[in-house]
Structure 1
């Protein structure tokens, strides 16, 4: 009788911004992703995610029994509340139970921070290792922007990370890690994780993998796997706004145990350091970006022209509350058909729902969380649309994943629509447009708090994309950030 392999699976995915006053709470995880046990298979089935790859493997291969412990994720945000992070860890460990497993797979982000821990991911892996014993192979995957403690190399055997930014290869990353885990369980191939920090903190502004320094580095790392002893070579470029001792570049290689990969790691290190200057970003202020957008439209360029405020990007830990871009647009006097997304203001959403669609509304927009990034903007308009904030991703990033961004309201005045949301989450998928009744063919300007992930779906749909930076919590000038753990020499 064929032996079934018993695999335990868990997920903890969150990216922490150390300098925002908005903490990440248990409710943020519960709203975005919160699946325990067999329901996880239904939730992730057919999605372009790491756990989607687990479900596909489970249903494709007949000799694997998957046990799902807690699988959860929250949007990027401030430090996780300590007791909430501990509750999540407890649930993951309790979900493993006392059963024996042949292997373990954990989907991590790698840039989680809590109020009292500089590496909750490491804390969790230590507890998983203690729970399953010293000999059970553990495979993990992490985001390209992970800040990984080198101690992880003593806790897990297998690591792979995203090779694309925007992160459209989550499914493939899960497949790579699972393939190595199956090599161990079926063929006895023993692995060792090797890690070498790179003393620089790259800016994610310049980290897109379509071209540029990160594309060159990913190509170089992938070339190392031509060596039959090396199954994975991945660069991690850190999350710029996570203040931890592990916030830096990182070269990693998962190779057959006993293989000396020190020379390859050093080559990866040197290749990243050689591109240090290429990660510097040029900043365009909001008024200049809007002038460029207007010139493109005036020249006949088809809209929408997207003007992207990178300094308040929620996926960089932005607060969805800065007002620089909106104020610059209003000051410009433009009458173009415009969508502004968004302001994070649960109380304003509540008020809009109480008033109802079609009602007039006066509001103070933004400037409530960190007014140093812009005073509130007085705005009066009409409540055009109210939504439950639920849709399913249609674009290439996390395709098929059910999304809940909380209730939202569309407030309109003349040709300007402004989105107000109960949670702080980026516009990254066309499903968001359908939710809000926005026809991009009837839109001239799309003003968004976003960055690189926005491009995965919207670059083909927009006439042009213009990155700007207004004052916000995710700036390109890292020397303006009061790091405690990141050495000044690491900063660009």
Structure 2
């Protein structure tokens, strides 16, 4: 029976975020191995969940689940953490299959593609180089997030690479299964994948780059049609991860053809042309938080809510830390006369004080600006504790469906009539279960002010007739020119049409 090793060592690193990822951050999010990985991921819309489902329908293969881990986006991964996790992965690969056959027939890695590690120029390439040194010529398949920063040397180390096609990311399991299908065909000698990548030499803002609507939906449809028409194995638009300040950051297109490099080249060039066509339309005018709140309040007062006001600059899914004060300050300044919720702040100390005070207790708080004052000073207020939870949910929406999230202890605070959610652990808020946990019926509120981005829309578009993206200072700010880039090539400038 052929053996395949399956592993995951993923992270998305924001060069402008102050908190670095340590081993605890990996242990506290996705962390499983062996049969535990099968039970942890089974039924989830994740890459490893997709792999579990795939091999349950391919019993002729024996999968072995090595360490599978992913830390929620943040600043860089510390070098010690990376080396420890990579050493475990390499040791597992070097040990070979449990049946003692001595060699793997294939290896699959479910990655992200925008990992930043202290002291390493291109961590994803480094990881693949060291994996290849251990596995030799064993066929290697890799799946990436569409926000990966891709280079040709990466592709040259792999037999097949497949990226997400959907933003919001609702095709993670599907992506893994396509990658595995092609990898097994490669092992059987049925295909000879040839991969080509070409960079766009541009940073693209992701706030208006959903594949469900708008200009990027047009580009995604073009790539889908072109790939099918040309008989390609895979054609992926990688929007890139702009907040990883590295020389290889930026959008790119990757095509795989069956033994035909020229066909892959043609597909890449045609799709790059489509990206250039829609590029300027990706940049949009965004109101400030004050203007966005005023607009939302007007809509909610007319009974046309609920309205979501979205601050993407402090979105943990983009590596930010749910710690900037700008949106909360705008909410309080607006003095909303409709039920309003603010989600959320990552503030373990305030959660601990709320727990100590208990339901109905009052505490003095200073929210935002806890980690750095670069994006504004804290908002001080007196708050009443209205709810405490254990922070545990299982996602029911399309993003990471079926995956358990643990926010640690959480608290709901009443500040001047606004419900403000505080968490002990910094994770994204993308699922209805989060609000169910906190006793919040979104259909009965007027405004939700939230640190979120496009993944939020996957589950909530039907809940909020209006969503207003606002431009607020933060480590994942829409305005790239406001961030201290040092290593992105000058060819990527100007960042915006206005610059």
> TM-score w.r.t. structure 2 length?
0.94
Q: Is the 8 A contact 2:16 2:476 kept in 1?
A: no
Q: How does 1:276-287 map to 2 (within 5 A)?
A: 276-287=279-290
Identify the residue that residue 294 of structure 1 maps to in structure 2. Answer: 297
Q: Is the 8 A contact 1:200 1:276 kept in 2?
A: no
**Matches of 2:411 and 2:124, distance apart in 1:** 36
Q: How does 1:124-143 map to 2 (within 5 A)?
A: 124-134=127-137, 136-143=138-145
Q: Is the 8 A contact 2:208 2:284 kept in 1?
A: yes
Identify the residue that residue 172 of structure 1 maps to in structure 2. Answer: 174
Structure 1 unpaired stretches of 5+: none
Q: How does 1:305-344 map to 2 (within 5 A)?
A: 305-344=307-346
Match of 1:489 among 479, 488, 491: 491
**Matches of 1:112 and 1:58, distance apart in 2:** 27
Q: Tell me the secondary structure at the aligned position of residue 228 of structure 2.
A: coil
Q: How does 1:42-441 map to 2 (within 5 A)?
A: 42-99=39-96, 100-134=103-137, 136-227=138-229, 229-260=231-262, 261-301=264-304, 303-413=305-415, 415-441=417-443
How far did 1:476 drift? 1.8
Q: Tell me the secondary structure at the aligned position of residue 282 of structure 1.
A: coil
Identify the residue that residue 100 of structure 2 maps to in structure 1. Answer: none
**Matches of 2:488 and 2:109, distance apart in 1:** 27
Q: Does 1:20 align with 2:17?
A: yes
Q: Does 1:33 align with 2:30?
A: yes
**Matches of 1:49 and 1:174, distance apart in 2:** 8
Provide, for residues 180-221 of structure 1, a one-character-per-residue CA deviation record: whole Å limited to 9, x for no partner.
012122353221221111111111112111122221222222
**Matches of 1:228 and 1:289, distance apart in 2:** 45
How far did 1:423 drift? 2.0
Provide, for residues 334-385 of structure 1, a one-character-per-residue CA deviation record: whole Å limited to 9, x for no partner.
2321110111111111222222223211111111212131211112122112
How far did 1:6 drift? 0.8
Going from structure 1 to structure 2, the CA distance change for 1:43 and 1:325 (only over 3 Å counts) comes to same
Match of 1:7 among 4, 7, 10: 4
How far did 1:87 drift? 0.8
> TM-score w.r.t. structure 1 length?
0.96
Q: Tell me the secondary structure at the aligned position of residue 21 of structure 2.
A: coil
Q: Is the 8 A contact 2:324 2:375 kept in 1?
A: yes
Q: Is the 8 A contact 1:222 1:232 kept in 2?
A: no
How far did 1:150 drift? 2.0
Q: Is the 8 A contact 1:281 1:476 kept in 2?
A: no
Q: Tell me the secondary structure at the aligned position of residue 44 of structure 2.
A: coil
How far did 1:235 drift? 0.8
Using the TM superposition, name which of 221-230 and 386-395 deviates more.
221-230
Provide, for residues 63-84 of structure 1, a one-character-per-residue CA deviation record: whole Å limited to 9, x for no partner.
0110111110111110111100
How far did 1:13 drift? 1.9
How far did 1:101 drift? 0.9
Q: Is the 8 A contact 2:300 2:338 kept in 1?
A: no
**Matches of 1:228 and 1:333, distance apart in 2:** 57
Using the TM superposition, name which of 81-90 and 249-258 deviates more.
249-258
Residue correspondences, number: 487
**Matches of 2:428 and 2:47, distance apart in 1:** 20
Structure 2 unpaired stretches of 5+: 97-102
Q: Tell me the secondary structure at the aligned position of residue 206 of structure 1.
A: coil
**Matches of 1:225 and 1:19, distance apart in 2:** 36
**Matches of 2:279 and 2:491, distance apart in 1:** 12
**Matches of 2:373 and 2:5, distance apart in 1:** 46
Q: Is the 8 A contact 1:200 1:273 kept in 2?
A: no
Q: Does 1:478 align with 2:480?
A: yes
**Matches of 1:266 and 1:39, distance apart in 2:** 43
How far did 1:227 drift? 4.8
Q: Is the 8 A contact 2:150 2:197 kept in 1?
A: no
Q: Is the 8 A contact 1:119 1:149 kept in 2?
A: no
Q: Is the 8 A contact 1:12 1:108 kept in 2?
A: yes
**Matches of 2:317 and 2:439, distance apart in 1:** 23
Q: How does 1:452-471 map to 2 (within 5 A)?
A: 452-471=454-473
**Matches of 2:84 and 2:153, distance apart in 1:** 23
Q: Is the 8 A contact 1:157 1:254 kept in 2?
A: no
